[in-house]
Structure 1
Amino acid sequence: MMKGSHVLDRLLVLEMVRVTEAAAVAASNLVGRGDERAADHAAVEAMRNALNELDLDGTIVIGEGERDEAPMLYIGEKVGARRDDPNAPRIDIALDPLEGTTITAKAGANALAVLAIAEEGGLLNAPDVYMEKLAIGPGYPEGTIDLSRSASENIRSIAKAKGVDPSEIIVCVLDRPRHAALIAELRGLGCGINLIPDGDVAGVIAVTDPDTTIDVYMGQGGAPEGVLAAAALRCVGGQFQGRLVFRNDDERARAAKWGVTDLNRIYSLEELAQGDVIFAATGVTDGTLLEGVKRRKNAITTESVVMRASTGTVRWVRGEHRREPGGQD
């Protein structure tokens, strides 16, 4: 059995792209059709089939979750061609076959097929609840951000580290009623706010790309998406903190089921995604991170990104498929 960093074989880097490509192409058939469930189902089926062709013993630790009651790729599901082989490399998998189901149904921007893998135990098995998130890109001193501080304090800290006035900081926030107070506080500082309708994995990753001009991501989104975003930041650099948010006893019971005992804990980047990590995403619709799937006369084109923590490499992959991945001629 392979040990250490060799568990994540170099070949798996491009294999992950094949998996996200398959999900993205399948979901792209439903772009703008107004059917979120059909788009999600198509992506799930395609991703599951692609995962089951891989030479590994995989366990879904972040999946479609309990909340969605999805028929496939649920937390705890085993995948891979060698899932019954005791000598196979054991891999933890976090995934969102379609990050942005509403975006896809409405043909909006930034829908992605997303996947992260790590060695067994490397990804936080987060319950399917909300997570308060705070993220900045690389290049800042450690400790620049801290979830135990107010939004205003964090903005001032980021501005000081960047050498600008707080009014020059651009913040990415999910456009939700629950963020009304946060948005008011940020606007009180004069910050620019990039409100996004959905897709907070892309929102978090945007802080790592200077071309987006986004300095920081703030606010509450899904905890599973938080782990996926943390996996990406582990590969490209940056700081991330997350704190689980529990709205009722049912969600607190869900946390207990997954071994979460400290309900107020602030998780660091390394606690969410540790060891060697591979992150891959393929665009379903055009966005700030990736172009979406394009259908041309004789081919389908895809754009993907794949990153690896142990090597710090980021690869941009443009695929031209004479047939749909996993499909028939």
Structure 2
Amino acid sequence: MDRDLALSLVRVTEIAAIASARYMGRGDKTGADQAAVDGMRAAFSLVDTKGEVVIGEGELDEAPMLYIGEEIGRGMDVEADIAVDPLDGTTLVAKGLPNAMSVIAMAPKGCLLKAPDTYMKKIAVGPKAKGAINIDASVEENLLAVARALNKDISDLTVTIQDRERHKSLIEEVRRIGARIKLFGEGDVASAIATCFEHTGVDIMMNIGGAPEGVIAAAAIKCLGGDFQGKLTPMSKEEVKRCKKLGWTDERLNHYLSIDDLAKGDDIFFAATG
């Protein structure tokens, strides 16, 4: 894959973002999302690749465009896995708030994990803390390891966590340990990527969010030299069925996913516009 293709992906995210921006602050998150989907799908018709959507808007019966398994691009020689989120942060756009993004990850065929539409436990850090995280370790062990890697006191560490009821005990534990917390409402991918940029003030993300967004975030963070781990965490019988449908056995569900499990190799592209 080459530079021209990378620039084409940037243009695709720009078109999707511009389309959804017309809904900024209008209270219509469905309209904003549909505008982004329409813009992204149309823009992909000009991209020189033979891509398969592995992370998209849902199954064929759930989404008419950018559905899982759809072939997109102009059908050229480059075969690729494509993960898309035309609008990560639909509510943010509807409310006129910042941090919504249109995102794409692309890698050679077979290199992006086909994640089921379920929850994923996630932990992400930037380049300076690469190798310090372990999703199977305790919260305190992870915070201590990241603090050591960054040469910081725990009290100077900032953890970003989504402001959801399911994170109540996690938030309480992080505060008990003594680290700071930066809560976010939406924008799972943007919050994970924030760990890779010092100016954000975010050192580590700990979260339970969508598995598809986890794959996209892992691809982005790999491009930026950071680290990411995940573990599928289905929260209902329906989510368990989705996992089993894609071949996830109980044993496989119990194993953590490294950044290389989620996005294999080094020939990975990520583009975002927000």
If the length of structure 2 is used for normalisation, what is the TM-score? 0.95
- The DSSP-based 3-state class of the residue aligned with 2:183 is strand
User: What residue number does 2:270 align with?
Assistant: 279
CA-CA distance at 1:55 after TM superposition:
1.9
User: What residue number does 1:148 align with?
Assistant: 136
Looking at structure 1, the residues matched to 79 and 239 of structure 2 have their Cα atoms a distance apart, in angstroms, of 29
Alpha-carbon distance change, 118 to 168 in structure 1, aligned in 2, over 3 angstroms: same
Looking at structure 2, the residues matched to 165 and 31 of structure 1 have their Cα atoms a distance apart, in angstroms, of 40
Looking at structure 1, the residues matched to 223 and 130 of structure 2 have their Cα atoms a distance apart, in angstroms, of 18
User: What residue number does 1:39 align with?
Assistant: 32
Q: Is 1:51–1:80's contact at 8 Å kept on the other side of the alignment?
A: yes
Q: What is the one-letter code of the residue matched to 2:189?
A: V
Matches within 5 A, 1:215-294: 215-261=203-249, 262-275=252-265, 276-283=267-274
1:202 alignment partner, one of 190, 193, 198: 190
Q: Mind listing any 5+ residue stretches in structure 2 that lack a counterpart?
A: none
Looking at structure 1, the residues matched to 139 and 58 of structure 2 have their Cα atoms a distance apart, in angstroms, of 30
Looking at structure 1, the residues matched to 78 and 211 of structure 2 have their Cα atoms a distance apart, in angstroms, of 26
> Which 4+ stretches in 1 moved above 6 angstroms?
none
Q: Is 2:128–2:149's contact at 8 Å kept on the other side of the alignment?
A: no
How many residues get paired? 271
User: What residue number does 2:176 align with?
Assistant: 188
CA-CA distance at 1:67 after TM superposition:
11
For each residue in 1:263-317, what CA deviation from the matched residue of structure 2 results, as whole angstroms up to 9, or x when unmatched?
112000111011210000001xxxxxxxxxxxxxxxxxxxxxxxxxxxxxxxxxx
Looking at structure 1, the residues matched to 143 and 238 of structure 2 have their Cα atoms a distance apart, in angstroms, of 34
What is the alpha-carbon root mean square deviation over aligned residues? 1.5
2:12 alignment partner, one of 7, 19, 32: 19
Looking at structure 1, the residues matched to 26 and 43 of structure 2 have their Cα atoms a distance apart, in angstroms, of 24
User: What residue number does 1:97 align with?
Assistant: 86
Whether 1:138 aligns to 2:123 is: no
**Between structures 1 and 2, the one with greater strand share:** 1
Q: What is the one-letter code of the residue matched to 1:282?
A: T
Looking at structure 2, the residues matched to 71 and 105 of structure 1 have their Cα atoms a distance apart, in angstroms, of 22
Q: Mind listing any 5+ residue stretches in structure 1 that lack a counterpart?
A: 1-7, 284-329
**Between structures 1 and 2, the one with greater helix share:** 2
If the length of structure 1 is used for normalisation, what is the TM-score? 0.80
